[in-house]
Amino acid sequence: MTTTPLDKPMPVKKTGLSHNAIFWAGFCVVMALLIVAPLVLPEFWRRFLTEVLIWGLLAMSSDLLIGYTGMISFGHSAFFGLGMYGAAAALLTFSPPNLWLALAFGLIASAVIALFVAYFSTRLRDIYFAITTLIFSQIFYVIIFTWTEVTGGENGLNFRRPPLAIPGLFSMQFNSETMHWFVLAVVTASYLILRRVTRSPFGMVLQSIRENEPRTRAIGYPVERYKIVAVMLSGLFAGLAGVLYALQNRFAAPDFIFFLVSGEAVIFNVMGGIGTLVGPIVGAGFFLLMRELLSRLFGDQFPYLIPLGVVFIVMIIFLPQGLLGFARRWLNR
C-alpha cells in the first residue's frame, strides 16, 4: 500500500454544477443561522459561539498545512499568540485605540514570525518539522514569559476594545452582538479566501506535495518555496484569529503561545475532518461544546480532557476523516 499522508482526506472534487449549487445553498443556510444566532441566544452562548468561530479560524489555518500540504505544525500557537500580542501592542501604544492598527500590527507580527519559522522548518520533513515548530512555539513562549517589562510576563496585558471606526465616517463601540458579526464576517471572509486558495493552481500544488512530495519535486516544482508560502499563509490566518481573540477578550497572555494550544487546534482538525476547511470549525465547535457540557454535568474540576482525549484517539484510529467525513459517508448511503 502506498503511504498517503494522514490517510487521504476528502479529495477536492471538480465542481460539477449540482455540487456547487449544493455548497452555496448550504453555505447560505449556515450563514443565516450564524447571523441570527446572537439575537436569540443568551449572552453566554453568544460569546461561546463567537469563541468557536475564533478557534475555528485558528484550526482552519492549521488545516491548510495539515490537510492540504501534509505538514503537521505545532507552531500555530506562536502565530496566534503573536497576532494577539501585536494587536495588544497597537491598542496600548496608540491612543485612541484603533481597530485597523490592531489588525495591521497583529497580522504583520504573525507574518514575520511565520516567515522566520518557515525558513528554518520547511526544509525538514514530517516529524522534524513538527518538532521544530513545537520548539519555536516554546522559544516564543519563553521570550514572552520572561520579558516582563514589555510583555507583562506571566500576567499578560490588558487593554480596551477599540471601536469599530472608519475615521471621518463613523465610530461605534462594539457590543457582544456586533462583535459576533464582526468576527463572523472576518472568519467567513477568511474561509472564502482559503477556499479559493486551495482550489487554485497553488492549492493543487500543495495537495500534490501532500500526496507525493518526491514526485512533485521531480516534476520541477520548488517544493520548499511552496511550503514556505503555505506556512506564511497559515500563520497569517492564525495571527488573524489571535487578533480577534484579543479584541473579543481584551487581554493577551503567554499561555496561548504554549504549544498545547497548537495541539488543540490539531485536535479540532482531526475531529472535524482534515482537508475540508469547514471541518476544523465543526471540530472546534464539537470539542468546546463537549467541554462545556461535561463541566456542567460533572462540575468544574472534572478532567474533561480525559474523555475528550479518548474520543480524539478513537477518532484517529477509526474515523480518520473526522466528523465531516463520517457525515458525508452517512449521507451518501
Partner 1 sequence: MQLTAILYGIPWDQVLIQTVNGIVTGMILALIASGLTLIFGIMDVVNFAHGELFMLGAYIGVVVLATTGNFWLALFIATLVVALLGAAIQIATLRPLLGRDPLTTILATFGVSLILQNYALWQFGPVARKIQEPFSGHFTLFYLEYPWYRLMIAGLSAAIIGGFWLFLKYGKFGIWIRATTQDRVMAEAMGIPVPMVHTVAFAMGAGMAAASGVLFGPLVGVNHTMGLDWVLKAFIVVVVGGMGNLGGSIAAAIFISLLEAYASIWVSPAQAVIVSFVVLILTLLFRPTGLFVPTPK
Footprint of partner 1 on this chain (CB under 8 A)? 1, 3-7, 72, 120, 124, 126-128, 130-132, 134-135, 138-139, 142, 145-146, 260, 263, 266-267, 270, 301-306, 309-310, 312-313, 316-317, 320
Nearer to partner 1, 139 or 192 (CB): 139
Cα separation, 118 vs 129, in Å, equals: 10
Q: At closest approach, how far in Å is the CB of 187 from partner 1?
A: 25
Nearer to partner 1, 3 or 18 (CB): 3
Among the listed residues 271, 246, 278, 68, the one whose alpha carbon sits nearest the alpha carbon of residue 174: 246
Q: At closest approach, how far in Å is the CB of 57 from partner 1?
A: 21
* 8 Å CB contact between 53 and 183: yes
Phi, psi (rounded to 5 degrees) for 287: -60, -50
Q: At closest approach, how far in Å is the CB of 308 from partner 1?
A: 8
Nearer to partner 1, 110 or 137 (CB): 137
Cell output for 238: 492564525
Nearer to partner 1, 163 or 320 (CB): 320
Alpha-carbon torsion angle 113, 114, 115, 118, nearest 10: 120
Nearer to partner 1, 125 or 160 (CB): 125
Among the listed residues 45, 39, 29, the one whose alpha carbon sits nearest the alpha carbon of residue 178: 39
Q: Which residue has the cell 454544477?
A: 17
Among the listed residues 189, 221, 171, the one whose alpha carbon sits nearest the alpha carbon of residue 53: 189
The 3-state DSSP class for residue 138 equals helix
Q: At closest approach, how far in Å is the CB of 74 from partner 1?
A: 9
* 8 Å CB contact between 252 and 85: yes
Q: At closest approach, how far in Å is the CB of 207 from partner 1?
A: 15
Q: At closest approach, how far in Å is the CB of 119 from partner 1?
A: 10
Nearer to partner 1, 20 or 146 (CB): 146
Q: Which residue has the cell 521531480?
A: 218
Alpha-carbon torsion angle 137, 143, 145, 151, nearest 10: -110
* Upper half-sphere CA count for residue 184 (Cβ side, 13 Å): 20
Nearer to partner 1, 41 or 294 (CB): 294
Q: At closest approach, how far in Å is the CB of 276 from partner 1?
A: 17
